[in-house]
Amino acid sequence: MLWQSFKKLKHPKETYDEYVMAKFHKTEASQRNISSTPTPQEIEVGTSTLPEIDVDASTPQEIDISTSTPQQRDGVDTPQEIDVAETVECITPESDKRRRAFDREMFHLSPSHKMAALKDEECVTPKSHKTGIYTTDTRSHLLAEVGVRRSQELTPKARHLYKGTLRLKKVVRIYRRRNLSFRKRLALAEKSIRDGSFWNYSSSANSELVRFCQSQYRLASKSPKGRRYTLDEKIMSLAIYKQSGRGYRFLSKMFSLPTPRTLRKLLANIELSAGLNDIIINDLKFKVRQLKSHSKLCVLMFDEISLTPSLRYNKDKDEIEGLEDVGDIQRPEISQYAQVFMIRGLFKKWKQPISYMFTKSPMKTEDLSRCLKLSIKALHEAGLTVIATICDQGSTNQSTINKLIEETRQNKIREGIEWRNHSFIVNNKEIIAIYDPPHLFKGIPNNLLTKDLIWKQDRKVVTAK
């Protein structure tokens, strides 16, 4: 029988001490009749004497079950047997030696009194056990190799190495888990590609994304010189290359992409010549059909840049490039200027160059006005709506805009309509002429430095010098 106070387990050593004392009290009580108030006395164990225990009214009393009545047993809880191997630390050969030395020193018990000995592989106590003994893990294995059970028993240097080893083992576990996760994901990806389940998502994914993934999977095992690309793959790569050449070279190190030389060969196959390009106009007709009405509104911009005079023989076309060419008119003069026309959307961000010309000197007013009218008519036929033109304040540009406005004013006068707007009519559509705002703001202070500002109002003239 055990005392009621031993139902709740305590520290293993404290539990073991109380267990020994309770065992001898039980032995003594079974050899004599228990009175209602037992007399305290000493209990001899071998050659040692245990201290006397003061028993008062609050001390639980043992009742002999064989001689007691049911009424006497009602107030006493039924004692529970405690398995020493479950409540005390597991006994291994090394810990058993330390336990026996501790027992002799504290209680001078007989060496024959041993607790249940277990093998090292059986010494596993659940982590949730009330005694607080944890399951054997990396820490216990490391300490067991040096013959200790707690890190406090190590020297300072050994404890430092012990903590460092634990940190490294934790890092190893993390990388091992990552490696295992990567292998699982890689095996799953290979399986999905082999059985074709990956390509089942092509209906919901972007067509360019599916095309890119298919090309990378197809070219993964090919050498750089053995890779072959389709026309769609080259066009997609060309779009990336035109956005950023440096970014394209960076992506080429990670993915299988055509070389820049291959892309330049692709561009060489496109026949581009000076003047209005029919290929671009036809492509615009196809793209404009997919736009909404407000997205078709655009402006026509044109500007002139200077070039370095040079001549180059084009063996594909069998002609010399670098001479004056405005599309339908070619002259045997080395060109030094280039005129470029480009359109840009108002409500939607898009832009597209549509034509270019080469001239020896700044473009003449007659040639520029004629090219401007042809460009606007072609854009109207493509389905776009040109509402304005934008250019800088170059002398040729100003004379061209003034000429178009004067032609429109004369045509309106013949129709009996007064025309005072700063706009002109092309293809029965009014086009507003706008000078580049940055150039306007820059020109205002420059003109005030060299010219006087004259303000007229109500027959009064005010001059700012």
pLDDT in tens, 114-128: 444 444 444 444 333
Q: What is the pLDDT of residue 28?
A: 58
- Which has the higher per-residue pLDDT, 64 or 303? 303
Contact 43, 22 (CB under 8 A): no
Rounded to an integer, the average pLDDT of 298-313 is 89
Contact 91, 116 (CB under 8 A): yes
pLDDT in tens, 134-180: 334 667 777 887 788 888 888 888 888 888 888 898 899 888 888 87
Contact 263, 241 (CB under 8 A): yes
CA 2 to CA 30: how far, in whole Å?
A: 13
For 162-315, list the strands marked E by DSSP: 275-276, 297-306, 312-314
Contact 357, 325 (CB under 8 A): yes
Q: What is the pLDDT of residue 21?
A: 62
Handedness of CA 206, 209, 213, 215 (dihedral sign): positive
Q: What value, to the nearest 5°, has the Cα angle with vertex 338 and ends 392 and 284?
A: 85
pLDDT for 44 beyond 60: no
- Which has the higher per-residue pLDDT, 277 or 5? 277
Rounded to an integer, the average pLDDT of 217-225 is 84
Q: What is the pLDDT of residue 387?
A: 92
Rounded to an integer, the average pLDDT of 330-336 is 85
Q: What is the mean pLDDT of the chain?
A: 74
400 confidence band (pLDDT: 50, 70, 90)? very high
202 Rama sector, left if φ>0, alpha if ψ -120 to 50, beta otherwise: alpha
pLDDT for 62 beyond 50: no
Q: Read out DSSP for 322-384? A: SEEE-SS-EEEEE--EEEEEEEEESSS--EEEEEEEEESSSPPHHHHHHHHHHHHHHHHHHT-
- Which has the higher per-residue pLDDT, 56 or 231? 231
**Which has the closest alpha carbon to 284: 334, 331, 208, 344?**
344
Residue with tokens 């050593």: 13
Q: What is the pLDDT of residue 2?
A: 43
pTM above 0.85, yes or no: no
86 confidence band (pLDDT: 50, 70, 90)? very low
Least confident of 33-42, 79-88, 316-325, 407-416: 79-88
Q: What is the pLDDT of residue 321?
A: 84
> Phi, psi (5° rounding) for residue 230?
-80, 170
Q: What is the pLDDT of residue 344?
A: 93
Q: Which helix (H) or strand (E) holds 271?
A: none
Q: What is the pLDDT of residue 300?
A: 93
If DSSP codes are grouped into helix, strand and coil, which group holds residue 2?
Answer: coil
- Which has the higher per-residue pLDDT, 113 or 298? 298
Q: What is the pLDDT of residue 137?
A: 60
63 confidence band (pLDDT: 50, 70, 90)? very low
Q: What is the pLDDT of residue 289?
A: 87
**Amino acid occupying residue 446:** N
Q: What is the pLDDT of residue 60?
A: 44
Q: What is the pLDDT of residue 43?
A: 41
If DSSP codes are grouped into helix, strand and coil, which group holds residue 449?
Answer: helix
Rounded to an integer, the average pLDDT of 439-455 is 85
pLDDT in tens, 181-200: 877 877 877 777 676 666 66
pLDDT for 324 beyond 60: yes
Contact 79, 1 (CB under 8 A): yes
Half-sphere exposure of 291 (CA within 13 A, CB side): 21
**Neighbour count for residue 441 (Cβ, 10 Å):** 9
Rounded to an integer, the average pLDDT of 333-349 is 90
Q: What is the pLDDT of residue 20?
A: 58
- Which has the higher per-residue pLDDT, 60 or 389? 389
